Amino acid sequence: MTPEQVWRWSQALHRHGFRRSARILKFVNYMLFRAILPPQAQTGRGLRLGHLGLGVVVHPNVTIGADVTIWHHVTISATTWVGSDVRITIEDGVTIGAGSIIVGRHNESLVLGRRCSVGAGSVVTQSIESGAVVVGNPARPIR
């Protein structure tokens, strides 16, 4: 059993109206992997959480595309309330390095473009173009 599997099960339960069961699986994910993975978040196929997703925190207003890799101790947070139109969107093929923080400015959406990479320990506060590699605090493109 992996955190990705438990997350997908909780998302399926949430979609079908079994909200309490979905919350229980979210808690199971936290207890087993110390990852906060809300069933309201949307994920594409091929999601990979490196090192069993240890310490990964995701806001419910996050959409994650296909073939995305998120390493351990990553925080992806929207500075808004759950269910608002403000979203963090991670497009297909993105890699997010260990210890990175992705946080949108207050009530602003943020997009990580296709196949971009976020270096370990980076702090991303604004959208990133497709194919870019960003590092640092604040994150800046290096190519």
Q: Express each pLDDT in 69-123 by its tens digit.
A: 999 999 999 877 676 788 999 999 999 999 999 998 888 899 999 999 999 999 9
Separation CA 45–CA 28 (nearest Å): 21
Share of the chain above pLDDT 70, in %: 98
CA distance 77 to 24: 21
**Cα separation, 92 vs 97, whole angstroms:** 15
The pLDDT assigned to 104 comes to 86
Work out the average pLDDT over 18-31. 97
Average pLDDT rounded to a whole number, residues 58-67: 96
Q: What is the pLDDT of residue 66?
A: 98
62: region left, alpha or beta (phi > 0 left; psi from -120 to 50 alpha)? beta
Over 80: is that where the pLDDT of 10 sits? yes
- pLDDT score at 78: 84
> Which has the closest alpha carbon to 128: 100, 94, 99?
94
Residue 112 structure tokens: 């990580």
For the residues 27-32, what does the mean pLDDT come to? 96
Instruction: State the CATH architecture for 34-141.
Output: 3 Solenoid (2.160)
Query: Pairing mode, if any, of strands 62-64 and 42-43?
Result: parallel
Mean pLDDT (whole number) for 53-79: 95
